[in-house]
Chain A
Amino acid sequence: MTESKSSDIFTFPKWTWILRPAVAVALVGGLVYVSVFVYLAFSPKATDVGYAPIQPVPYSHALHVGQLGLDCRYCHTGVEIAAHAAVPPTQTCMNCHAKVRGESEKLIPVRESFATGLPVPWIRIHDLPDYVYFDHSAHVRRGVGCVSCHGRVDTMEVVYQAEPLSMAWCLDCHRNPERHLRPVEFVTRLDWVPGEDQEVLGARLREEHDINPKETCYTCHR
């Protein structure tokens, strides 16, 4: 078409015919892209659920907690008074292991650390971003059990991350704390089950202890 009429400017030229299929492809493609993106972003791979790095000492929580019945607070002494639950010093291991299985090969890093004063380099599993300020004492003292965030550590031969620890996951509980409240004396009992409906118990505990978790940004971000 070499000649053009004045009405031509209101007519789509021929080459635009390709737009229709292109838009269709873009729509479908975009939908697939968004779904895949969302799926991947919330997949355990992205949130690190199941992350179970190999530790320098093959410490078994299943043995110490599950079978021997150690309380969480025997080692994680800060959990009720501070933001950090704290990984115990080598001294804590040696309280028992100076006598128990003193020759075990698996304990070589522990004995070395105790002899040299250098730390055992544990690998962090539950790793929040640096701009998140989580406080263990604020949760444990209100009756949120260890199991709510850390899972059944007492059955873990190798500790792994049980929950996504994402912001949406945090907010779930901050909006509906009833599902995770228990009497304070049972917070470290990982296998504890309520004798009544959890929602009813939770609502009662929430009322009793005046628990109103905040959702404002500054609760966790400063």
Chain B
Amino acid sequence: MKPEREMKYWRSLDELARTPEFVEAVAREFPTDEWDRLPPATRRQFLKVMGASLALAGLTSCRWPEEEIVPFARRPEGRTPGVPEQYATAMELGGSTLGLLVTSVDGRPIKNEGNPLHPDSLGALPATAQADLLQLYDPDRSRRLVERRGDQEFVRSWDDFAAWTAERFAGDGRGAAILAEPSSSPTMARLRRRFTETFPAARWVEYQPISRDAERDGLAFAYGRPLRAVPHLDRARVVACFDADPLFEHPASTRLARHFAESRQPSRERMSRLWVAEPAFSITGGRADHRAAVPASAVPAVLARVARELVAVHGLALPEAAVNLEAAFGAAAADGNGFVTELAADLAAHRGTSLILVGPGQAPEVHALAAVLNHGLGAVGSTLGYTEVTDPDRPSHVRAIAELAAAMTAGEVETLLVLGGNPVYDAPADLGFAELLVGVPHSAHLSLYDDETSRRCGWHLPRAHGLESWGDGRAWDGTLSFQQPLIQPLYDGRSALEVLATVVGDGDAGGHGLVRETALESFGAVDFDNAWKRALHDGVVAGTELPVVEPELDGSALARAGAGLGALVAAEPPSAVKPELVLIPDRKVHDGRWANNAWQQELPDAVTKVTWDNVLQVAPPTARELGFAEGDVVTVSARGASVELPVSIVPGQAAHTLTAALGYGRTAAGSVGNGVGGDAYRLRTSDSPWLVPEVAVTATGRSLAMATTQDHFAIDAMGFGARLDRIPILIREASLEHFLADPEVFHHMVHHPPLKSLWQDREYPGEQWGMAVDLNACTGCNACVVACQAENNVPVVGREGVVRQREMHWIRVDRYFKTEPGVGPMEVDQAEMVFQPMTCVQCENAPCEQVCPVAATQHTEDGINAMAYNRCVGTRYCSNNCPFKVRRFNFFNYHKNLSEVAKLQFNPEVTVRSRGVMEKCTYCIQRIQKVRIEARNGNRPIRDGEIVPACAQTCPARAITFGDLNDPTSEASKLREDKRAYATLAELNIRPRTQYLARLSNRVGEPAVPEGGHGAHHGGDDDHGKEAS
């Protein structure tokens, strides 16, 4: 059969162009090992080395090392040594909290998971929040208070600091300022009130580089006061995103991804449609049914055209207050763009169930227009809820720090206490914050690391990690959550709350006392102890979300937005001589705070698949115009500042629009993050923090071998020629209409002769584990990769290692681009993106098992293809024979040089592998065994859903389901009976135990049955792609 739209799938431009490098890379299981070869040794040298190693080996094997058992003197009540416990806590990011459930073994937190009771976590977590745990054990964390005077450093104590604050914050606080990170914490708000009451003349400034201030200001334009927008994707049938990435770059992204996945059920009534107009691929863009690559500066015009179309063609009546905007969007040039007309028609047809979202990188005026349209389309109260903000009076972060910088320039700031953040690194470049800070006579910085800002302050104060401190905060919808420490501060750090309490003279209360006092105020004294215990146990207080308000549009505020909007709509699109640069928060290190986090650095970026670097994303035709090739290092400059970045040619990027991620090029991040990538903050200015218009790009003549995984472990299904045709059988897709008309469509994508096994089938009297991965839910967000890494002690190999294709992630998220056939690699201007998480599928007829000479990889009685690491001798035959390329080999002992403190993170339930050992996914065998033993001890069967592998546990979209295939009522069994279920490479008769559920698209006007139906090439002996195992 033919897919409804003839499309080609490929992973990289190299693959599309079939470069010799790509052919070579696919042909080899492991790249060449030239870099590992030792210089040729003489016979004498060889004998010397071997003799010495033998002698040493003999010595060490004389006796096992003596081990000590050190039990508690007094064991805490209810604690059983070696039994993991989970505690609910929370972490704050960007003024909103995520609920965590942290696993602790013998007092060591080892894994962050989502708190199921928390409205923004729902049991799952994004990769960043999981990787934050690694920061707790980072050996580069600062360990002492330092006072710097000139070139001298003095080690100080917290008492010395208390004396300093008493001296510096005195009288009415004139000349003193605190620069804090935004916080949703009620305790922080309470302390802040005390601070402003005690020191009325002191300044309080809140800044962080990545915020949703544009949305907030835009809503202030529309409604006369700042509001918080809470989208409900589960109620929306049509979602239009304008440079917005709700599925990833949003404080409530986990909830939004979950609800979006729920809205993609394969039925006409229940499947939503997603429209995205954006300058560069985002996670949401990858899921779009219709996507337009539009320069960031042209996004307002696209929204304006949609507005015009809605009003002019579909008769959308805008509220009277919005009249002033009509002039602005009415001027938008009408063109025959199908995207705009179809989108407008779709929105108009789904009044009350549609939703328009605008990203934080767009100007407030664009948000105001979207708010007006949402209002007019009846989204408010249905797919969109508004709540009041808890801090209505604060200026935008960028304005706040600009005002602080002005005061510093004027010499009005004598004392500056910086509570967290890293403004020297991430403040807008035009403010010259670093120099201004040096000019402040008395300054102090609280931070996990002795970083860029600390080095320019008089004092550096070690900060307690989130898992070491008490706190509270609010979720995006306002739900109150509590943060409790899992461990005593490792390095005598203190939290921002505790330091602020010292300033206001409440230093003795401690984090616990401070948070408890705030809770006492809000819970009331009646039955407080129970309420407090309950809140700490649950991590959240149910029913504390902020009330939903139904605001009225404010005509006068909107009138002010109109002028700005008109200018934005009329903006000149970028050109080859005047390309624009879009700055985005990095999907891994965010604003740079996770720069020293090796898990995040080694995580392949969802779109570019680049690790250990940030890149300059360029569209293929633009790269051709500018004369750049993949990996060319170029200088991007604007307004006298410049940054050097390697070029990454990314399909689906808007023409003449360059994209660079913030958060790299750190100089004082630590041993992992220093010098990784280029610092795009240098180009960021306070008047336009997200878009740098008219940049100049010049080649440096150098080229960089980027550590990208995009061609790694490519599956070579059947020779290179057939390869591109074969990818659609790995990733199966069809339109909703097609699927509804022909539910067997996915099983007719592959035909092969009946499969006969050479081996006798095993019998599985007990459980038989299996997995289903729903490609229709997966967003490609990488959360599973980090969850697996944390759970299974997967090592980090470093930049060089990734370049040599030695990354160890057990799960890789394959990212394929799709284009119309016949489009050359450098002509691609519109592309689609598909994700497929790929890990060991636990074949029933596993090719790896058949070639292992020492039986180190074996089939278990419940169908898992298990590894006995201590038996592996490292022949790598298994990896060569694996059709999915999911086995990973330890070329070195990657854990050898880890510091003792970093080893505290290890999961004691999983062997730490050494050099020369093959490893791979085993469905989290340790979790299976744990539940199995518990169930057997309790004389009961294992319940469905009781065993949850780490990846399935943390998937925001719940794309992964694990269960017993012998139990027909289990969720996994049911999903494998789904019409969308298919086995990858089934024609090899490997009978994978993980099956995928095909992805569905829901485009406007797709035919139910495409040309050329099924059956044309059915042979007599034909079998179908779907087979039972």
Q: For residue B926, which residues in chain A have a CB less than 8 angstroms away from its CB?
A: 133, 222
Contact between chains at B864 and A218 (CB < 8 Å): yes
Q: For residue A137, which residues in chain B have a CB less than 8 angstroms away from its CB?
A: 933, 937
Contact between chains at A221 and B71 (CB < 8 Å): no
Q: Which of A53, A118, A141, A216 contacts B866 (CB 8 A)?
A: A216
For residue B41, CB closer than 8 A to chain A, the reply is: no
Q: For residue B922, which residues in chain A have a CB less than 8 angstroms away from its CB?
A: 218, 222
Q: Which of B82, B868, B869, B925 contacts A86 (CB 8 A)?
A: B82
A221/B68 contact (C-beta < 8 A), A78-B81, A84-B82 known? no
| 8 A Cβ contacts from B533-580 to A | none
Contact between chains at B80 and A81 (CB < 8 Å): yes
**Chain B 66-88 interface 0/1 with A at a Cβ cutoff of 8 Å (1 = within):** 11111111110000111100000
Q: For residue A90, which residues in chain B have a CB less than 8 angstroms away from its CB?
A: 71-74
For residue A171, CB closer than 8 A to chain B, the reply is: no
Contact between chains at A127 and B73 (CB < 8 Å): no
Q: For residue A38, which residues in chain B have a CB less than 8 angstroms away from its CB?
A: none
Contact between chains at A48 and B64 (CB < 8 Å): yes
Q: Which of A77, A133, A218, A222 contacts B80 (CB 8 A)?
A: A77
Interface centre among A77, A124, A131 (most CB of B within 10 A): A131
Contact between chains at B64 and A127 (CB < 8 Å): yes
Contact between chains at B929 and A133 (CB < 8 Å): yes
Contact between chains at A131 and B911 (CB < 8 Å): yes
Q: Name B's interface SS.
A: loop
Q: For residue B866, which residues in chain A have a CB less than 8 angstroms away from its CB?
A: 216-218
Contact between chains at B868 and A91 (CB < 8 Å): no
Contact between chains at A78 and B80 (CB < 8 Å): yes
Closest partner residue, chain B, to A86 (CB atom): B81
Stretch at the interface among A2-10, A15-23, A109-117, A190-198: A109-117
A90 to B937, CA, bound (A): 29
Contact between chains at A84 and B81 (CB < 8 Å): yes
Q: For residue A113, which residues in chain B have a CB less than 8 angstroms away from its CB?
A: 73
**Chain B 861-875 interface 0/1 with A at a Cβ cutoff of 8 Å (1 = within):** 100101111110000
Contact between chains at B71 and A123 (CB < 8 Å): no
Contact between chains at A89 and B860 (CB < 8 Å): no
For residue A63, CB closer than 8 A to chain B, the reply is: no
Q: How far is the CB of A197 from chain B (nearest CB, A)?
A: 27
| 8 A Cβ contacts from A127-159 to B | 127, 129-131, 133, 135, 137-138, 141
For residue A58, CB closer than 8 A to chain B, the reply is: no
Q: For residue B68, which residues in chain A have a CB less than 8 angstroms away from its CB?
A: 121-124
For residue A119, CB closer than 8 A to chain B, the reply is: yes
For residue A214, CB closer than 8 A to chain B, the reply is: yes
Contact between chains at B861 and A221 (CB < 8 Å): no
A124/B69 contact (C-beta < 8 A), A218-B864, A218-B868, A218-B922 known? yes
Q: For residue A121, which residues in chain B have a CB less than 8 angstroms away from its CB?
A: 68-70
Q: For residue B909, which residues in chain A have a CB less than 8 angstroms away from its CB?
A: 133, 222
Closest partner residue, chain A, to B911 (CB atom): A131
Q: Name A's interface SS.
A: loop
Q: For residue B929, which residues in chain A have a CB less than 8 angstroms away from its CB?
A: 133, 135, 218-219, 222
A31 to B66, CA, bound (A): 34
Interface size range on A against B: 35 or more
Q: For residue A82, which residues in chain B have a CB less than 8 angstroms away from its CB?
A: 80-83
| 8 A Cβ contacts from B921-960 to A | 922, 925-926, 929, 933, 936-937
Q: Which of A81, A114, A122, A217 contacts B70 (CB 8 A)?
A: A122
Q: Which of B66, B80, B82 contacts A123 (CB 8 A)?
A: B66
For residue B198, CB closer than 8 A to chain A, the reply is: no
Q: For residue B869, which residues in chain A have a CB less than 8 angstroms away from its CB?
A: 131, 221
Q: For residue B64, which residues in chain A have a CB less than 8 angstroms away from its CB?
A: 48, 127
For residue A88, CB closer than 8 A to chain B, the reply is: yes
Q: For residue B71, which residues in chain A have a CB less than 8 angstroms away from its CB?
A: 86-90, 119-120, 122
A91 to B77, CA, bound (A): 12
Interface centre among B69, B82, B864 (most CB of A within 10 A): B69
A116 to B864, CA, bound (A): 49
For residue A83, CB closer than 8 A to chain B, the reply is: yes
Q: For residue A91, which residues in chain B have a CB less than 8 angstroms away from its CB?
A: 72-75
Q: For residue A48, which residues in chain B have a CB less than 8 angstroms away from its CB?
A: 64
Q: For residue B870, which residues in chain A have a CB less than 8 angstroms away from its CB?
A: 129, 131, 221
| 8 A Cβ contacts from B844-877 to A | 856, 858, 860-861, 864, 866-871
A78/B933 contact (C-beta < 8 A), A53-B66, A217-B868 known? no
Q: For residue A123, which residues in chain B have a CB less than 8 angstroms away from its CB?
A: 66-69
Closest partner residue, chain B, to A118 (CB atom): B73
For residue B910, CB closer than 8 A to chain A, the reply is: yes
Q: How far is the CB of A82 from chain B (nearest CB, A)?
A: 5
Q: Which of A124, A138, A141, A216 contacts B861 (CB 8 A)?
A: A216
Q: For residue B868, which residues in chain A have a CB less than 8 angstroms away from its CB?
A: 217-218, 221
Q: How far is the CB of A172 from chain B (nearest CB, A)?
A: 19
Q: For residue B70, which residues in chain A have a CB less than 8 angstroms away from its CB?
A: 119-122
A77 to B78, CA, bound (A): 11
A130 to B911, CA, bound (A): 7
Q: How far is the CB of A12 from chain B (nearest CB, A)?
A: 28
Contact between chains at A89 and B80 (CB < 8 Å): no
A77 to B81, CA, bound (A): 10
Contact between chains at B73 and A89 (CB < 8 Å): yes
Q: For residue A135, which residues in chain B have a CB less than 8 angstroms away from its CB?
A: 929, 933
Contact between chains at A89 and B911 (CB < 8 Å): no
Q: How far is the CB of B229 from chain A (nearest CB, A)?
A: 46
A123 to B922, CA, bound (A): 34
Contact between chains at B67 and A127 (CB < 8 Å): yes
Q: Which of B72, B80, B864, B925 contacts A119 (CB 8 A)?
A: B72
Q: For residue A88, which residues in chain B have a CB less than 8 angstroms away from its CB?
A: 71
A218 to B137, CA, bound (A): 30
A138/B936 contact (C-beta < 8 A), A117-B74, A124-B68 known? yes
A and B contact pairs by CB, cutoff 8 A, 12 listed? A78-B82, A88-B71, A89-B71, A89-B75, A119-B71, A119-B72, A129-B870, A137-B937, A141-B937, A217-B860, A217-B866, A218-B864
Besides the contacts A48-B64, A81-B83, what 9 more A-B pairs have beta carbons closer than 8 Å? A80-B937, A89-B74, A91-B72, A114-B73, A120-B73, A130-B911, A133-B926, A216-B858, A217-B860
Q: Which 6 A-B pairs have the closest CB atoms?
A: A217-B868, A119-B70, A218-B866, A89-B75, A84-B82, A124-B67
